[in-house]
Amino acid sequence: MRRFTVYDSLSRETRMFVPITPPKVGMFVCGLTPYDDAHIGHGRTAVLFDVVARALSHWGYRVHYIQNVTNIDDRLIARGAETGIDPLRLADRHFLAYRVAMEQLGVRSVNYYPHATDYLPEIVQQIRTLLEKGYAYESRGSVYFEAAKFRTYGRLSGQRLEEARPGTRVEPEPGKRAPEDFVLWKAARPGEPSWEAPWGPGRPGWHIEDTAITASILGPRYDLHGGGLDLKFPHHEAEIAQAEGASGLAPLANIWMHAGMLQFHGEKMSKSLGNVVPLQDAIQKHGPMVLRFYYLNAQYRSPLDYSGEATLREASEAYDRLDAPSERLREAVDQRGPDHPGQELPEEVLASSNHLLEQLDELLASDFATREAIAALFGWSRTVNEWLPRFESLSGPSLSALAAPYRWAQEVLGLFEGRGSGQDSERIAPAVQVAIEARQRARDRGDFEEADRLRESLRSAGILLEDNGSLTRWRFAPGEAG
Ligand SMILES: [Zn+2]
């Protein structure tokens, strides 16, 4: 296991990573609230943490990476009321689209995507513990966390309690004792989806699902918590208070990593500002590898500016320069085989390939310096270009030595996977699996209409489902094999 440093947002310093039980690493990243299509900002966070998990696996750690799905919340309920679509269906549909985008982007390191509504007993239990320990109070069928009871509330975001008040966009809630208190269980209003709990029918607050899910899957303490910078307050602050309050153990996570925001001309990308670029549009137009390259060719904690189409066109041109020699090499190796006899590269070129491999790992091990790793790969592409006219005469092992840094980048950065939009059968399989799971969830809650709709939409995409007891298999319809 390679040792590496990472910037920890809680202690505000770059620290050596020390796993709780090596070689295992428990990793949790805040996922999507799928009330709408994902935008390119979501892609940035997803790709960053995919690279973190890939790098850790490459270095010999055994990563268990989970990312939650907030499939019930106020925004989903509001969007459901606007569109006339059941919020749980809406969540499943948008999440399915998100998973397809993740497959295309090569985000494959997440082991499990737990949905909030699949963890209701764990959520109710954690709220009960917080009530018993005096951190929470019940009011009008809802339960709130009393922020003032948690001594270090505000430490992550560096705010004092009196500053830690919700923004003006948040409606005042009449049942709260103090404005900084946050909801753990929200009493249902008529017509809203709700679940039974000792305090009356309602739904979990946004923050509690994460800590109930991580406590049940990763335990009361784990190694790495990630998310977008915009989630630091109040969401992550609330998570720390809930989890440490309930378990009595600290810290919840050894390392807190935050991804910088993607900005449109310096502004936050948001629906209300009308500057949202849907992730799927960018993937279709520029290809997933260009997008990955664009995200990774930046310092991950800094804001990443997007100033319209031109930004991704430039990224596409730059990626072409990096990718072209790697493509040519791949062709040469494929044609001639790895053992093909021929001229050997000079010692110093072979040595510099090895040196570059070490340097690339070193860069990633220094707080995931992906931009510097990409710069080093550009340098290598210049070397490879010099040898390009002589590819025909080189031996298989020499060609492999030239290709080695690209193979590293393919494994760790997820780049160089070809420029297509990733629709072949192997890449589509996990997305189909998600559709099958969404259909199963719809059936479990008795929503057979939605289950049938999912089956039909897969059928129209040339994918047939076969139910066998509780197991569902899929295959391509005849003539549609991918
Ligand atoms: Zn979260």
Indicate whether 418 belongs to any domain. no
- The rounded Å distance from CA 277 to ligand 1 centre is 22
The pLDDT score that the predictor gives to residue 426 is 62
The pLDDT score that the predictor gives to residue 172 is 66
Single out the residue of 299, 293, 288 nearest to residue 314, CA to CA: 293
Query: Which residue segment(s) compose the domain that 438 sits in?
Result: 425-476
The pLDDT score that the predictor gives to residue 482 is 39
Question: Is the same domain home to 432 and 336?
Answer: no
The pLDDT score that the predictor gives to residue 100 is 86
Question: Is the same domain home to 108 and 254?
Answer: yes
Q: How many other CB atoms sit within 10 Å of the CB of residue 361?
A: 18
Question: Is the same domain home to 235 and 133?
Answer: yes
Question: Is the same domain home to 357 and 217?
Answer: no
- Given 367, 382, 412, the domain boundary residue is 412
Q: Which residues place a Cβ less than 5 A from the ion ligand 1?
A: 30, 210
Indicate whether 249 belongs to any domain. yes
Q: What is the 3-state secondary structure (H, E, C) of the chain?
A: CCCCEEEECCCCEEEECCCCCCCEEEEEECCCCCCCCCEHHHHHHHHHHHHHHHHHHHCCCEEEEEECECCCCHHHHHHHHHHCCCHHHHHHHHHHHHHHHHHHHCCCCCCECCEHHHHHHHHHHHHHHHHHCCCEEEECCEEEECHHHCCCCCCCCCCCHHHCCCCCCCCCCCCCCCCCCEEEEEECCCCCCCECCCCCCEEECHHHHHHHHHHHHCCCCEEEEEEEHHHHHHHHHHHHHHHHHHHCCCCCEEEEEEECCEEECCEECCHHHCCCCEHHHHHHHHCHHHHHHHHHCCCCCCCEEECCHHHHHHHHHHHHHHHHHHHHHHHHHHHHCCCCCCECCCHHHHHHHHHHHHHHHHHHCECCCHHHHHHHHHHHHHHHHHHHHHHHHECHHHHHHHHHHHHHHHHHCCCCCCCCCCCCHHHHHHHHHHHHHHHHHHHHCCCHHHHHHHHHHHHHCCEEEEEECCEEEEEECCCCCC
- The rounded Å distance from CA 433 to ligand 1 centre is 24
- The rounded Å distance from CA 172 to ligand 1 centre is 22
Indicate whether 27 belongs to any domain. yes
- The rounded Å distance from CA 247 to ligand 1 centre is 18
Angle between helices 120-132 and 206-217 (to 10 degrees): 100
Question: Is the same domain home to 291 and 339?
Answer: yes
The pLDDT score that the predictor gives to residue 252 is 98
The pLDDT score that the predictor gives to residue 480 is 41
Task: Look up the CATH number of the domain holding residue 131.
Answer: 3.40.50.620
- The rounded Å distance from CA 323 to ligand 1 centre is 35
The pLDDT score that the predictor gives to residue 326 is 93
Indicate whether 439 belongs to any domain. yes
- The rounded Å distance from CA 302 to ligand 1 centre is 20
Name, in order, each residue with C-beta under 8 angstroms of 234's C-beta and a sequence gap of 6 or more. 157, 164, 166, 182, 207
Lookup: tokens for 70: 């907030």
- The rounded Å distance from CA 261 to ligand 1 centre is 16
Question: Is the same domain home to 371 and 454?
Answer: no
Distance CA 162, CA 177 (A): 14
Distance CA 441, CA 437 (A): 6
- Given 379, 412, 445, the domain boundary residue is 412
- The rounded Å distance from CA 210 to ligand 1 centre is 5
- The rounded Å distance from CA 297 to ligand 1 centre is 26
Question: Is the same domain home to 384 and 470?
Answer: no
Exposure of 456 by Cβ count < 10 A (0-12 exposed, 13-18 middle, 19+ buried)? exposed
Indicate whether 335 belongs to any domain. yes
Question: Is the same domain home to 327 and 436?
Answer: no
Question: Is the same domain home to 135 and 71?
Answer: yes
Indicate whether 22 belongs to any domain. yes
Indicate whether 388 belongs to any domain. yes
The pLDDT score that the predictor gives to residue 421 is 44
- The rounded Å distance from CA 69 to ligand 1 centre is 9
- The rounded Å distance from CA 226 to ligand 1 centre is 9
- Given 222, 243, 259, the domain boundary residue is 259
For residue 395, the one-letter residue type is S
- The rounded Å distance from CA 333 to ligand 1 centre is 44
Distance CA 415, CA 413 (A): 5
pTM for this model (two decimals): 0.90
- Contact by Cβ (8 Å): 459, 439: no
Question: Is the same domain home to 343 and 296?
Answer: yes
- pLDDT under 50: residue ranges of the chain: 168, 421-423, 480-482
Question: Is the same domain home to 248 and 294?
Answer: no
- The rounded Å distance from CA 279 to ligand 1 centre is 20
- The rounded Å distance from CA 235 to ligand 1 centre is 7
Indicate whether 276 belongs to any domain. no
Question: Is the same domain home to 442 and 323?
Answer: no
Radius of gyration (Cα) for the chain, nearest Å?
24
The pLDDT score that the predictor gives to residue 339 is 85
Single out the residue of 37, 163, 46, 30 nearest to residue 104, CA to CA: 46
- The rounded Å distance from CA 31 to ligand 1 centre is 6
Q: For the chain, what is the domain count?
A: 3
- The rounded Å distance from CA 397 to ligand 1 centre is 47
